Structure 1
C-alpha cells in the first residue's frame, strides 16, 4: 500500500482535485494559505487545514507550504471501518504541536524516530478530530447556487445508477450545457470528473469490507464493465482494484519526505522547543479568580525633526481607515519655530481637519519661554482663529493637548503664566513637568518652591534612563517601583501620575535580563507589571537604525508594539480575573482571554526557560456550542521587521511589495465553533506567542436556522 508522504513547496497554486483514499494536511509556515474547500473559500493562516477523503480542494495561494498525504489504511489500527467517518476541522486544536512534530520529522528524514513521531501525529488527529457516522462519509459541498446544490444531492442519492448530464437535464428541466457551466463556475471541476471520482471513492469501501467480485462492485456503482472500472480506478489510485484489495492488509510503515529547497526551508525547520515539559493550566469559567483592576497606559509616540503638519498628516493617513486605540498621544519633543509655522490657510485648515478626524492626544515638550511663544504664535493662535471662524472644522475639545515643560529652564511665574494662558483658550489642556536626570537635591528644591508658589502639574515625565544606574543594572518591577517611590517621597506627592519616556533597546535589553524573550513580549510585561502610578509609556513613533523600538517602521507598517497595545486595550481600565498566566474579562456578550508567558510576574528572575503552556478551558454550566475567535501574535509571523532585511533601508521597495508585507504580518485570526458541553477547549501557547481568545456567549447559530 502507499505510504505517507510529506511535500514541501515554496510557492503553490493547484488545479481543483479530489482527495481519494487519504486525508491531507495543509499548513503554511509563512502563514499564507488560501484554499477553496468543498465550494467554500478558506484562509488558513498558521493553522492546519484537514482535507478529508472525497473532499474537493483547490490551493489558490500558498507560501512555504507543507502537504502531508496520509492514506486511509493508516487509521485502521484506531478504527477498522474508518471510511465511514471523517476528521472534523472544528474539533482539531493541536495545530502548533503537530506542526512542531512535522518539523522534527522533516529534519530527521528516513530516521526510525521520525516514523514514531508520525504515529504520534496520527494518534492526535484521530483522538481529537475523528467523527464516526453510520453511513459512508459524504463531503458537505455547498456553493452559492441552489440548483447546483440540488443537483449534487441528487447525484449522492443515485450513486448506484448511471447518472448522466442527460438524466440531470431531464430531471431539473435545464440544458446539459448549463449544468456543465455550473460545475465549472462554482467548483472549477467538470461534471464527468466529479462523478467518476465520487464513484471510485465510494467503491473503495466495498473493495475493503465485502467479498463481492470486482465486476459486481463495478456494476453496483454504475460502471459499464470491469475493464472500464479498472482503467478509471488505476488512473486515480495508481494501482488496479485487485491489487488494492490484496495489499489492504500490508501495514508496513512507509514515510517519505520529498526533495525540497533546503535553503528556503532551513529557517522554518528549527523545531519548537519540545524538550521542555509543557505546563497544563486549567481555566474554569465557573471558578474564576477575584477580579482586579488592570491599569490603562497611555502611549506617547515620540516625534522629532519633523514639521508638525507633516507628522499629523502622516498619522491621519495611517489611522483614517482603521480604529485607532484611544490611548495614543503624539509627543513632539523638539519643535523649532520653522517646524511650527504653516505656509498658508489651506494647510492650516487641513491640519485642523486631520486633528478632528483621528482619535489622538497631543503633547509638546517646551524647553523655554521663547519656544512657548513660538508655539503660541504659530500653532495655538492660528488654530483659535479657525475655531472662531469655522467651528465645524474644529472645536476646542477636539484638540486634546498637553505641554511638557522642562524643569531646568522655567521659573514658577513663567509656569503659572503658561498654565493660565493655555487653560483660558483650551480648558482641558494639561501641563506636565519633564524631570531631567540625574534628579538632584537642587532640582527637588526648585520644584518644591514652584509648588509652594501655586504651580501644580497634571503628570510628571521621567526618562527610563533614570531607572538605569549602569549598563549592568537589572530592571525589575520592584526596582521601578522603588525608584518611583523615592521620587514621590522626595516630592511629597503620591498622587500625580508619572509617564516613563524614551523607551529604547538599552532599556529593553536590561529588562528582567532575559535574552531569550523577545522585545514585544517584554513590552507586554511592562504594560502589566508597572505600578499604578505610571499612567503612560513613551517611545519613538518611527524606528531608526539606532533604535528599533517604535510604533511604525520606515515603511509605515505597525510594529509589534502596536499590536501588543491593541490586545492590551481589551483589558485596560477594566476589572479582570488576572493570574500569572492569563487575563480574563467578562463582557455582556463574550469572554475575552489573553494568554501570555508568565515571566513578567517574577520580579527576581535571572533566567528563563521557554516553555509551551497547554490551556484547558472549562465551562460546565455557562456555555454550549459557541463561536471562538483567536488572534495570535507570533514573533516570526506577526513581526514585519522579520520580512524586511536591515540592508533594505538603503533601497527603494516597490509599494506592491510593501502592501503584501503589511497584509501578511499581522495578528493571525482564526474562527471556529466549539461545543463546551461535550468537550474541553484545548489551547496551546508555544514560547514567544501571545493569544487573544474571544468566546462568544450567545450560541452559535447556523444560517439555515436563521433563514
Structure 2
C-alpha cells in the first residue's frame, strides 16, 4: 500500500504552513533540518522535530527529510482525547524508537512492501510512545505559550491567538494594537511569507478541529466559536484550505487525511540513494548503549554448577558410550549429572560391559553424578549395583583411588520419604566406607512453607550439600498457563521462591532450581525462548545470582510441558548448550555484571558477553528490527593499546538448529551421531577476528536484534588459553 501521510521532502526550503489536525514529525536523512515554528526555532541533524496542531511552521533549510503526518484520529484510537493535550518533544525518552518506526515506514513505502497491518502497527506504536511520554495538558501549555522568539511581531501573533472569536481584519488589528496596517502587513510577509488574512483563516480552521471532530457541533456553532461570520463562510474557507467540506472531512478515515506544504514543485528523488540514506540513518538512530569497562567493581558472581538431567538409559549410553558431548570429559567442576533412571532399570537394561565403561568414565574424569532416590527399594538396588562396580573398577585400575568416587551423590525425595527415614538411609550409605554427598528434593516444602520452617533445624543438622527445587512440581510453578502473558524477565526475579529461601537459615548457594520451562515468545507461534539468546542469558544470569545452579534436561523431553534442554531428541545442540559451553570455558572466573553485558577478567584475556536488551522488554520477536549501533570504551590498565579480538555472534539464527534443519525434518528422519556431528561443525555462531587500538578510539560495532555477542580481547600476543 501507499500512504499519503508519509512524504519524503527533498526541496531546500518550503513556505509557511500550519498543522491543522494532528501533529507532524520531521526526521532529517541528510544534512541539517531547520524549522521555525510558532514557539521555537529547531535545527537538527540526528533527531526529529515535532509540530503540534495549530502551530505554524516554516522549513528554511532542508537536505532530505521524512515528514510523517499523524491525524488526531490516531490518538483517539489509543483512547486519548487528542485536543486535550499538547505533545512536547523534550519529554520523549524513546526518540530512537520513534525514529526507527518512521524509517521502517519510509523503507517499506519506497520498496512497495508496506502492508496495511504494518502501517497500522507502526503508526499506533509511534502514537502510543508520544501519548505515554510527551503529552501535557493543553491548557497548561497555552498558559505558558509565548511568541518572544518573534520580538515585537510576537505581540501581534499572541493577540490573534487570544482573540480568535473577535474581528481580526487588518484594520481591526491596527486599531487595537496601535500599529499601522502597512507595518502589520509587512511584518507578516517578511517573517512568515503569508498575509494576515491567510494566517487568521488558517489558525481559525485549525482551532475549529476540536469542535468538528471532537463533538457533534453544527457548522453554525463552530463558526461562532472560531470567529467566522456564519456556517456558510466557515464551510467555504474550510474547503478552500483543506480541499473538502467540513462534513466530508468528518467522515474521512485517519489514513485518508493528508498535509499539503503549499508548493507546486514535484518531489524528485533517486530511490536507491534514499534507501541508502534510510539505512544509514537507521544505524545511527538505533538504540545504543556504551560498553564501558574500567576499574570499577560491580556486582559479581561465578557461573554456578549446572545440573544436567538424564531421563533414560538411552541418554546415559549416548553420554558415556558414544563420546557424544564435551560434558563427559570437560567442565567437571561445574556439572552435576542427575540420573533419574532407577537402579533396577539400569541393572536390567545395561550389559556388564556397559556398566563397567560408564563407571570407568565417571571415575577417570572424576565426574559428579547424583542419583534420584524415591524409596528404600531404590536405594537397595543402587547399593547392590553401584558400589561393587566402583570397587572392582578401582581395583582394576592402579591409577584410581577411592577419592575418585567423591563426586557421587544421592538425592532423596522428601515427597516420598520423611526426614527421619532419609536420615537412616544416609547412615546406611556411609557404612559402605565411600565418601558420598547427599542432597534432598525439597520441592514440596516450598508448597508448604510453614512445614519447611518447622524442619529447618533438622535439615541444617543433617547438612545436605544439595537442595533441589523442581519447578515443574511447584504450586504454582515458575511458568504456568496462568502466567502466559507475564514476561520471563519478571518471572526470573523468582520473587516467591526467594521469599521462602530468605526465611531459612540455609546457604542459598545450596539450592538448585530445576526444570525452567520453555515456551513460545509472546507474538510468535514458532519461535521459543530457546530461540532467543538474550532471554537465555538473562535466565542464566538471574538463576546464578539467586541459586547454586540451574537444572536442565540433557536431552529434550517431549512428554508434558517442555523444559529447557541442551540437545534435542535427535542430538542436535541447542542455543542454550552453546551459550552454557562458553560460560563453562571460564573455569572459576568471577563474572562482573554491568546490566546488559557481563565481563570476565581472565589471566590472558578479557571476555565480554553483550546481549540485546530490546527483546527482553516484550519478549516479542520483531523480525523487522534493525541492529543497534554500539561502542565499547575500555579504560582499564590491562587493555590500553592495540589488541587482538575474537568475536562471536549468537543471533538466534547462527548456531540455532531450528534455523538450519526445521523440526519437521528432524522428526521425519533418523539422524546418526556422525551426521549430527557433521552438521554441528557448520552450525556455529558467526565469528570474526580483528585488531583494535583502544588508546586511539572506542570500538564501534553492531549488535543485531535478539543476539548475544561474545568478545574475547587478548591482553598480549599470547593466545594459548583461547
Which residue of structure 2 aligns with residue 557 of structure 1? Answer: 572
Mapping of residues 1-400 of structure 1, within 5 Å: 274=282, 277-285=285-293, 287-306=294-313, 310=317, 312-314=319-321, 316-319=323-326, 323-324=330-331, 326-341=333-348, 345-358=352-365, 360-392=367-399, 395-398=402-405, 400=407
Separation of aligned partners in 1, 2:281 and 2:550: 33
Separation of aligned partners in 1, 2:583 and 2:108: 37
Which residue of structure 1 aligns with residue 550 of structure 2? Answer: 537
Pair 1:427–1:283, CA change in 2 (3 A): same
Query: Which residue among 631, 636, 661 is the counterpart of 1:644?
Result: 661
Which residue of structure 1 aligns with residue 439 of structure 2? Answer: 431
- Check if 1:683 corresponds to 2:687: no
Separation of aligned partners in 2, 1:272 and 1:352: 59
- Check if 1:471 corresponds to 2:481: yes
Question: What's the CA shift for 1:403?
Answer: 1.4
Q: Tell me the alpha carbon deviations over residues 198-234 of structure 1, each in whole angstroms, 9 at most, x when there is no partner.
A: xxxxxxxxxxxxxxxxxxxxxxxxxxxxxxxxxxxxx
Question: What's the CA shift for 1:501?
Answer: 0.8
Which residue of structure 1 aligns with residue 516 of structure 2? Answer: 503
Which residue of structure 1 aligns with residue 5 of structure 2? Answer: none
- Check if 1:592 corresponds to 2:592: no
- Check if 1:440 corresponds to 2:448: yes
Question: What's the CA shift for 1:587?
Answer: 2.6
Question: What's the CA shift for 1:380?
Answer: 2.5
Q: Is the 8 A contact 1:460 1:496 kept in 2?
A: no
Separation of aligned partners in 2, 1:292 and 1:442: 32
Structure 1: gaps of 5 or more residues: 1-100, 112-251, 257-270, 702-707
Q: Is the 8 A contact 1:352 1:393 kept in 2?
A: no
Q: Is the 8 A contact 2:409 2:437 kept in 1?
A: yes
Q: Is the 8 A contact 2:632 2:699 kept in 1?
A: yes
Separation of aligned partners in 2, 1:272 and 1:665: 30
Q: Tell me the alpha carbon deviations over residues 535-593 of structure 1, each in whole angstroms, 9 at most, x when there is no partner.
A: 11112111244537311123323211111112333568544442122112333322211
Separation of aligned partners in 2, 1:606 and 1:632: 20
SS of residue matched to 2:404: helix
RMSD of Structure 2 on Structure 1 (CA): 4.4
Pair 1:308–1:677, CA change in 2 (3 A): closer
SS of residue matched to 1:698: coil
SS of residue matched to 1:528: helix
Which residue of structure 2 aligns with residue 668 of structure 1? Answer: 686
Query: Which residue among 585, 589, 593 is the counterpart of 1:578?
Result: 593
Q: Is the 8 A contact 1:301 1:538 kept in 2?
A: yes
Q: Which has the higher helix share?
A: 2
Separation of aligned partners in 1, 2:328 and 2:371: 26
Question: What's the CA shift for 1:446?
Answer: 7.2
Which residue of structure 1 aligns with residue 100 of structure 2? Answer: none
Separation of aligned partners in 1, 2:468 and 2:328: 31
Separation of aligned partners in 2, 1:326 and 1:508: 33
Question: What's the CA shift for 1:636?
Answer: 0.8
Separation of aligned partners in 2, 1:568 and 1:343: 33
Q: Is the 8 A contact 1:325 1:566 kept in 2?
A: no
SS of residue matched to 2:600: strand
Q: Is the 8 A contact 2:533 2:708 kept in 1?
A: no
Q: Tell me the alpha carbon deviations over residues 358-399 of structure 1, each in whole angstroms, 9 at most, x when there is no partner.
A: 464211111111101111111223212322453435643345
Pair 1:680–1:486, CA change in 2 (3 A): closer
Separation of aligned partners in 1, 2:644 and 2:659: 32
Q: Is the 8 A contact 2:468 2:512 kept in 1?
A: yes
Question: What's the CA shift for 1:600?
Answer: 9.5
Pair 1:497–1:599, CA change in 2 (3 A): farther
Separation of aligned partners in 2, 1:405 and 1:395: 23
SS of residue matched to 1:402: strand
Pair 1:688–1:601, CA change in 2 (3 A): closer
Question: What's the CA shift for 1:298?
Answer: 1.9
Which residue of structure 1 aligns with residue 649 of structure 2? Answer: 632
Question: What's the CA shift for 1:275?
Answer: 9.1
Separation of aligned partners in 2, 1:442 and 1:461: 18
Separation of aligned partners in 1, 2:391 and 2:714: 47
Question: What's the CA shift for 1:283?
Answer: 3.5
Q: Is the 8 A contact 1:636 1:642 kept in 2?
A: yes
Pair 1:277–1:651, CA change in 2 (3 A): same
Pair 1:485–1:255, CA change in 2 (3 A): closer
Question: What's the CA shift for 1:613?
Answer: 3.2
| Matched residues, number | 439
Q: Is the 8 A contact 2:630 2:702 kept in 1?
A: yes
Q: Is the 8 A contact 2:529 2:536 kept in 1?
A: no
Which residue of structure 2 aligns with residue 482 of structure 1? Answer: 495
Question: What's the CA shift for 1:665?
Answer: 1.3
Question: What's the CA shift for 1:516?
Answer: 8.7
Separation of aligned partners in 2, 1:468 and 1:526: 12
Q: Tell me the alpha carbon deviations over residues 512-543 of structure 1, each in whole angstroms, 9 at most, x when there is no partner.
A: xx989944432211121237441111121112
Separation of aligned partners in 2, 1:491 and 1:678: 52
Separation of aligned partners in 2, 1:468 and 1:254: 51
Q: Is the 8 A contact 1:614 1:683 kept in 2?
A: yes
Which residue of structure 1 aligns with residue 37 of structure 2? Answer: none
Which residue of structure 1 aligns with residue 541 of structure 2? Answer: 528
SS of residue matched to 2:389: helix
Which residue of structure 1 aligns with residue 584 of structure 2? Answer: 569
Pair 1:437–1:519, CA change in 2 (3 A): farther
Separation of aligned partners in 2, 1:332 and 1:662: 26
Structure 2: gaps of 5 or more residues: 1-102, 114-268, 274-278
Question: What's the CA shift for 1:307?
Answer: 6.0
Structure number, greater radius of gyration? 2
SS of residue matched to 2:715: strand
Question: What's the CA shift for 1:670?
Answer: 1.7
